[in-house]
Amino acid sequence: MQNKTLIHPLPTEVRPQLIDSFGRVHNYLRISLTERCNLRCFYCMPEEGIPLRDKAHFMNHEEVFGIAKIFNQLGVSKIRLTGGEPLIKKGAKDIIANLAKLDTELAITTNGILVDQFIDVIKDNGIKSVNISLDSLVAQRQEMISRRNYFDRIFKNINLLIDEGFNVKINVVVMNNVNDTELVDFVELTKDKSVQIRFIEFMPFNGNKWSWSKGVGFQKMMNAINYHFGEEKVIPLVGNPNDTAKCFTVENYKGSFGIISSISNPFCGTCNRIRLTADGKMKNCLFSSGETDLLTAYRNGEDLIPLIKHSIGTKKAERAGLDTIEKLNTSSLNTKNRSMISIGG
CA–CA gap between residue 344 and residue 131 (Å, rounded) = 13
Residue 89 lies inside a defined structural domain of this protein: yes
In a domain, 232, yes or no: yes
Q: Digits of tens for pLDDT over the chain (345 positions)?
A: 444 555 555 554 556 899 999 999 999 999 999 999 999 998 988 777 788 889 999 999 999 999 999 999 999 999 999 999 999 999 999 999 999 999 999 999 999 999 999 999 999 999 999 999 999 999 999 999 999 999 999 999 999 999 999 999 999 999 999 999 999 999 999 999 999 999 999 988 877 778 889 999 999 999 999 999 999 999 999 999 999 999 999 999 999 999 999 999 999 999 999 999 999 999 999 988 899 999 999 999 999 999 999 999 999 999 988 888 888 877 676 667 777 788 887
Measured CA to CA, the distance from residue 295 to residue 215 in angstroms comes to 35
Residue 297 in contact with residue 279, Cβ under 8 Å?
no
Would you say residue 3 lies in a domain? Answer: no
DSSP 295-324: HHHHHTT--HHHHHHHHHHT--SSGGG--S
Query: How many independent structural domains does the chain possess?
Result: 1
Inside any domain, residue 80: yes
> Can you say whether the dihedral through the CA atoms of 68, 4, 168, 140 is positive or negative?
positive
Q: Is residue 1 part of a domain?
A: no
271 within some domain: yes
Beta bridge partners of residue 273, listed in sequence order: 28
Position 315 in a domain:
yes
Residue type, 195: V
Cα–chain-centroid distance for residue 171? 9
> Side-chain half-sphere of 328: how many Cα atoms within 13 Å?
21
CA 278 to chain centre: 14
Could you tell me if residue 326 is inside a domain?
yes
- Give residues with Cβ within 8 angstroms of 332, minimum separation 6: none
| CATH number for the domain harbouring residue 234 | 3.20.20.70
Q: How far is CA 265 from CA 158, 200, 261, 295, 297, in A?
A: 29, 12, 5, 34, 36
Q: Which domain, by its residues, includes 137?
A: 12-343
Distance CA 17, CA 70 (A): 12
